[in-house]
Amino acid sequence: MKAVRFHAQGDLRVEDLDEPTVGPGEVKLKVEWCGLCGTDLHEYTAGPIFVPTRDAPHAVTGESAPVVLGHEFSGRVVECGEEVARVSRGDNVAVEPLVRDNTCNACQRGLYNVCDNVGFHGLSGGGGGLSEYTVVPEFMVHRLPDGMSTEIGALIEPIAVGWHAVQQANFRAGQTALVVGAGPIGLVTVLALEAAGARWVAVSEMADARKKKAEQFGADLVLDPQEDDVAAKVHELTGGGVDAAFECTGKKSTLETAVHSARRHGVVCNVAIWEQPTELRMNDLVFTEVALTSSLAYAHDFPAVLAAVQDGRIDASQLITARIDLEDVVRGGFEELVDNKDQHVKILVRP
């Protein structure tokens, strides 16, 4: 079968691999669609970051580079191992690709997204979605509701990232929000906020193409920090600041914007993965009693996201900006994202 493997920085190869075999408690999938993620791009341009290296194989998969990429995907069940009860052959599923050890303290508390040995199917070894077939444990699959296409099924994973952030912020219907950064993560956070019944959502973004996307995705106001004092504008328009501000960029200045835009007793939720340590005036939190929280991936969010997409609270299709074949993944996928990142939200790959 054809699969895309990460060998080293800038070295992705479409290769012929043996089809994986299914064991007890496992499900074999024919991958239908797989989205490309900023994380995948980061591995290509600056990796290995999450991909395990030979001197430090992943604790759960035991594998290291080369590994199959692709963790945002849907598939059709072609074979079930013994003891598999929740799905059967022919079902279409979305994959929740978090690899975990199922034994650490976090896992025992149900917090599997912050497992001591967390990883991703499609980054950490054990297979991935940029592949004709892959085998996953049964706990990773969620059956698609009747009538939902596998194309939409591949978008459940990125939407779940925004959905989880909104849960982490304890966001309630009728509240107001600021999303800082309108890349793919910022945009899915906007979608999740609208589904949660937000009264007013503002977005702060500098790139023109992304500003336009934020408007299309339903932001009530798009501010540009090059032209506007974002926090001052937010305070003026909301009468004291937003209930929740989401930091989706990972820069000192944008974190400050989020903190300064929150109302007294509001919440700042960090969704960004940071490349560097940062400084924050802690008294900006103390004197406002603003809470700073974080969000990583998702846990227990897929059923709610599937329901929100199915009943129309979220229009997932607008995330798709291109569809390509597996053979074209380097030029039409990764290189396209390097050259035109701001133009794209999700490039879907058909293995």
Single-letter amino acid code for the residue at 190: V
- Is residue 299 at the binding interface for Zn ion, with CB under 5 A as the rule? no
Q: Which residues pair with 11 in a beta bridge?
A: 8
Residues 6+ apart with CB under 8 A from 27: 77, 79, 80, 81, 84, 87, 93, 135, 136, 137, 138, 140, 141
- Phi/psi at 277 (nearest 5 deg)? -65, 160
Q: Give 104 or 330: the residue with its C-beta nearer to Zn ion.
A: 104
Q: Do 6 and 67 contact (CB within 8 A), yes or no?
A: yes
Is 177 an interacting residue with respect to Zn ion (CB under 5 A)?
Answer: no
104 binds Zn ion (CB under 5 A): yes
* Nearest distance, CB of residue 58 and Zn ion, angstroms: 13
Site stretch for Zn ion (CB under 5 A), options 46-54, 95-103, 163-171, 328-336:
95-103
Rounded Cα distance, 124 and 115, in Å: 14
Min CB(269)–Zn ion separation in Å: 23
CA distance 270 to 178: 12
From 109-117, 241-249, 303-311, 328-336, give the range in contact with Zn ion by CB under 5 A: 109-117
Which of these segments, 61-69, 105-113, 252-260, 314-322, binds Zn ion (CB under 5 A)? Answer: 105-113
Segment lying near Zn ion (by CB under 5 A), choices 24-32, 93-101, 202-210, 262-270: 93-101
User: Binding-site residue total for Zn ion (CB under 5 A)?
Assistant: 5
In the complex with Zn ion, the residue whose CB is nearer, 100 or 211, is 100
Smallest gap from residue 162 Cβ to Zn ion (A): 24
> Measured between alpha carbons, how far is 261 from 335 in angstroms, rounded to an integer?
36
Using CB under 5 A, which of 15, 19, 91, 101 touches Zn ion? Answer: 101
Report the site for Zn ion in 112-141 (rule: CB under 5 A).
115
297 lies in the binding site for Zn ion (CB under 5 A): no
| Residue in the block written with tokens 């299914």 | 22
Cis peptide before 48 (omega within 30 of 0): yes
> By CB under 5 A, is residue 107 in contact with Zn ion?
yes
CB of 106 to Zn ion, least distance (A): 5
Please name every residue paired with 98 in a beta bridge, in sequence order, or none if there are none.
120
- CA angle (269, 273, 277) in 5-degree steps: 95
Give 101 or 138: the residue with its C-beta nearer to Zn ion.
101
Name the residues that contact Zn ion, by CB under 5 A: 100-101, 104, 107, 115
